[in-house]
Structure 1
Amino acid sequence: MTGRTPSVRVLLVEDDQRVARVNRDLLERDPEVHVVGSAATCAQGDALAQALNPDLILLDVHLPDGSGLGLLRHWRSVGRTTDVALITAADDEASVRLALAHGAFDYLIKPFTGARLADLLARHRARRLPPAPGPALPRLDQGSLDRLLGVQGRGVEPLPRGVDPHTLERVAQALGGAGEGVSAEDVGERLGLSRVTAWRYLEHLVRSGRATLEHQYGHSGRPAKLYTARPGPADPER
């Protein structure tokens, strides 16, 4: 397994070219985000969505040839399940409710901060499903479904400050793929993280019941801390 952050291919649908350039610059501060197309109308947005098949579409509401909400409704009616987030000056409750009802996973009201846009990208990444082998559709356990829905289950504590959900899942996947106890240094090397950062995320997995910690005593020095993924309810017993 590689620890590389998954790339995100973004389509912008925004009629104000100045705003589109600013949004592109903000997005591409992340080296793994690539704006693959920019449209100024509903018609252009629909054509580019079909041609480019982006991972994420950032969509305005007020467009010269119609409403972005109507375009979103059209995409869902024809089975396009691409993640769509509204970035718009439309701040009325009716627009927000319609966007969410038609399957938008996020809604940013202009002007917004770079941090809020970065949060949108992190949530998109956390929602992404691993590719299914062959023609089979991926099957979900409840944890994967909750991440897709962007919700936390009852009794699950919110993530502490400084714990990024995407990085947490990368660490959890690295731990699950190891097959045996690994150290924070091992995980850090696999994912390109510092030992201290990897240790912090591993300790959170232990506290949340998703991993176990074992102290391995050697002939010299302090005992090594080895972390192992804890099988979930749907996992086979080890």
Structure 2
Amino acid sequence: MITVLIVEDDPMVAELNKQYVEALPGFQIISAAALPEEALQKVQQLKPDLLLLDIYMPGMTGLELLKQLRTTGSETDVIVISAANDTASIQQALQYGAVDYLIKPFNWERFQQAMLAYRERKQFLLSSHAVKQGDIDRMLHQHTRAVSPSDLPKGLTKETLKMIWNAIQEEGEADFSAEDIAFSSGVSRVSVRKYLSFLDSAHILTASVSYGSVGRPQTRYRLNGENHEQIHCFI
């Protein structure tokens, strides 16, 4: 579970951010702070994984707070959420290690994109296996493929996706074909192939081609252990 501290002096915005975070799986709000000094104390005491940080606050600015956190050796990640839209503020935030920057007013889809990209990146960095260049590229450039509940391609529905996902989960860690899922879900093979192709493109599944001794090569799929929780974005 990723722990989150909200640093925002506007109570309405802080509550909105809280509701947004609580709507996403894998995140937990552990506290909120309206003042930078209060935020510094809570970071030291609670050691949250992630800070949602405003810039314009009474006393020191959010950027000054971020600088002080880095000076004291804090490894808490930061996503800046602010009305500050000047390039100097953005550059300074990035230099101090902010992992994303949202300009107020922002929409739900952009907030979700930032949070899910952060979650995936954190899971990636916590993994112990050797990585390939493609893995790094996907992590660094995942904003180009970030997802939201409205991102299902035309012709695909959440209801059918749920049926197919239930059938996929029954396969466990074993690999499977479109024919396997069609048989267990009751969905036509043509439709199943579309859904499996979509899940592969979203990196929820990984696909490989099996060359049997007889007949045409067959595409087989397997759950991507690191990204399969992304399914919650779609169903």
Name the TM-score class by shorter chain: 0.5 to 0.7
SS at match of 1:80: coil
Residue in 1 that maps onto 2:209: 213
2:197 aligned residue (200, 204, 208)? 200
Quick check: 1:142 aligned with 2:133? yes
SS at match of 1:90: coil
Question: Which TM-score applies when normalising by structure 1?
Answer: 0.63
* Distance (Å, rounded) in 1 between the aligned partners of 2:138 and 2:129: 14
In the superposition, relative to structure 1, how do residues 73 and 142 fare at CA in structure 2: closer, same or farther (>3 Å)? farther
* Distance (Å, rounded) in 1 between the aligned partners of 2:90 and 2:48: 23
1:24 aligned residue (4, 18, 34)? 18
Deviation at 1:93, TM superposition (A): 1.6
Instruction: Tell me, yes or no, if the aligned pair for 1:13 and 1:45 is still in contact at 8 Å.
Output: yes
Provide the identity percentage: 33
In the superposition, relative to structure 1, how do residues 159 and 12 fare at CA in structure 2: closer, same or farther (>3 Å)? closer
Residue in 2 that maps onto 1:227: 221
2:2 aligned residue (4, 8, 31)? 8
SS at match of 2:98: coil
Quick check: 1:62 aligned with 2:59? no
Aligned Cα root-mean-square deviation (Å): 4.2
Give, as a single letter, the amino acid of the residue that structure 1 aligns with 2:196. W
Instruction: Tell me, yes or no, if the aligned pair for 2:21 and 2:27 is still in contact at 8 Å.
Output: yes
Deviation at 1:79, TM superposition (A): 2.9
Residue in 2 that maps onto 1:107: 101
Give, as a single letter, the amino acid of the residue that structure 2 aligns with 1:212. S
Deviation at 1:36, TM superposition (A): 0.9
Question: Which TM-score applies when normalising by structure 2?
Answer: 0.64
Residue in 2 that maps onto 1:98: 92
* Distance (Å, rounded) in 2 between the aligned partners of 1:196 and 1:52: 46
Count of residue pairs the alignment pairs up: 192
Residue in 2 that maps onto 1:43: 37
Can you give the 5+ residue segments of structure 2 that lack an aligned partner in the other structure?
153-168, 186-191, 224-235
